Structure 1
Amino acid sequence: METQQLCPRFERAVELLSKRWTTLIVYQLMNGPQRFVGIENALPNLSGKVLSERLKELEEEEIIERAVYPEKPVRIEYSLTQKGRELAPLLENIQNWATRWIEVLPALEKQ
């Protein structure tokens, strides 16, 4: 059997998307632009500090963009870029796979 070497781009993509909460944040933003508090409320076990870190990382990778609206108080929304939206088929495939193969623990069903 031939040993296949990992593509550095694939390896980097998996490393990025496998950081805790990153994929769930992207998945949440598939619903459209959201404010920090909206993302935080949708993912209640995620701390504000980690959310802030992940949003900055995703913005640096150009997966999300941050829009600042000069209102009082200032409104900031996060949305997916084209690069981020192109993750939709991947996330849909994971969702379909999980629906078919992953059991939900009873404690998680109540949330």
Structure 2
Amino acid sequence: MPLTQLNLGSELGVEILHHRWYALVLYQLTEDPTEFMDLRQSIRGISTFNLFTTLHKLEDWDLVDAFEDDNYHYQLTSNGAMFHRILHDFESWGNHELTNNLAI
């Protein structure tokens, strides 16, 4: 039986990888709290509104937790930390492939 589409879980993962801001936010966050404006300054090109809506969507998917004290802070959930590691694995693979292709 030929495969015509990915399962829903894979579709969501690919959507996160495909959406520039989702991946960049997950890449920048850690399991330690990060203030909203610090996150905003660390991601070039994202507007405050786009960052807010991206964080909200990532919260909906249980990848990011938000809390407020004096400022808004965000951190990765355990699911977000797992996806963060996946992004780093993709980066390592890509760097490896680039190095091998440049050496040829």
After TM superposition, the score normalised by the length of structure 1 is: 0.76
Q: Considering only aligned residues, what root-mean-square deviation do their CA atoms show, in Å?
A: 1.9
TM-fit CA distance, 1:102? 4.8
- Pairwise CA distance, 1:18: 2.1
User: Quick one: distance in 1 between partners of 2:83 and 2:68?
Assistant: 24
How far is 1:101 from its partner?
3.6
Q: Show structure 2 runs of 5+ residues with no match.
A: 100-104
Change beyond 3 A, Cα 1:98–1:32: farther
Please list the CA deviations of residues 18-53 of structure 1 after superposition, one character each: whole Å capped at 9, or x if unmatched.
222111101100373211111111112111111011
TM-score with structure 2 length normalisation? 0.81
Structure 1: gaps of 5 or more residues: 104-111
Q: SS at 1:86's partner residue?
A: helix
Equivalent position of 1:92 in the other structure: 88
The 4+ residue runs of structure 1 with deviation greater than 4 A are: none
Q: Match for 1:75 among 67, 71, 75?
A: 71
What residue in structure 1 maps to residue 48 of structure 2? 48
Larger RCO (CA within 8 A; separation ≥ 6):
2
Q: How many residues end up aligned between the 2 structures?
A: 98
Q: Which residue of 2 aligns with 1:106?
A: none
Report the alpha carbon displacement of residue 17 of structure 1 after superposing the two structures with TM: 3.6
More helix by share: 2
